[in-house]
Amino acid sequence: MKEVLAAAPRALVCAHTEEAPYLDGRKVPMRLAEMEERIRGGAPETGEDRRRRAEAASNQFPVGRELTGGEVLPICGGIEIYHTPGHMPGHICLISRPDGILITGDALNLAAGGALAGPNPVYTRDMAKAYDSLRQLRGRGVKLVVCYHGGVFRGEFDGALDALLAAE
């Protein structure tokens, strides 16, 4: 993120109110706190633990606007904000109004063959809440889905979402 802010110094960082304290350093990131608790409990510290601790310390940055969900950012013809907790409590999804592009972050993934897949249970704090959060994205005119870990879904979104939720 620091590289993005260095390249675009006037960029405004937006985050959900539940996520902002972890980004700007007011709170220790959840996964880092869990790791430190594990080590305090007697687990040996690994090289990966040290890497994650150093990464977290260098990844703090100011949040210029805190979001709650329901906002429409006045950029690119309007970006709708949806609070989609589950992966993390402050997770959000974004929909670009003019072109129907949904940016899901970790709320959705792509399965083999390009099918729409739900959140990864390994990285999702509350799977039931994650699936419940997805329901609000139905009927929003989504034409293209950009998943954080796994590329782009170009199929019929509402039907794919219904099938995913029915299988959940």
Do both 106 and 158 map to the same domain? Answer: yes
Whether 64 is in a domain gets the answer no
Give tens-digit pLDDT for 81-118.
999 999 999 999 999 999 999 999 999 999 888 889 99
Do both 78 and 152 map to the same domain? Answer: yes
Q: Which helix (H) or strand (E) holds 130?
A: helix 127-134
Do both 78 and 159 map to the same domain? Answer: yes
Number of domains observed in the structure of the chain: 2
Kindly tell me the sign of the dihedral angle through the C-alpha atoms of 100, 97, 93, 63: positive
Tokens read off for 126: 């509350």
Do both 131 and 111 map to the same domain? Answer: yes
| Residue percentage of the chain with pLDDT more than 70 | 99
Do both 15 and 82 map to the same domain? Answer: no
Do both 90 and 43 map to the same domain? Answer: no
Whether 113 is in a domain gets the answer yes
* pLDDT recorded at residue 2: 77
* pLDDT recorded at residue 80: 98
The ranges of the chain with pLDDT < 70 are 150
d(CA 94, CA 53): 29
- Please choose, from the candidates 18, 17, 19, the residue with its C-alpha nearest in 3D space to the C-alpha of residue 1: 19
Residue 127's domain spans which residues? 69-167
Do both 44 and 120 map to the same domain? Answer: no
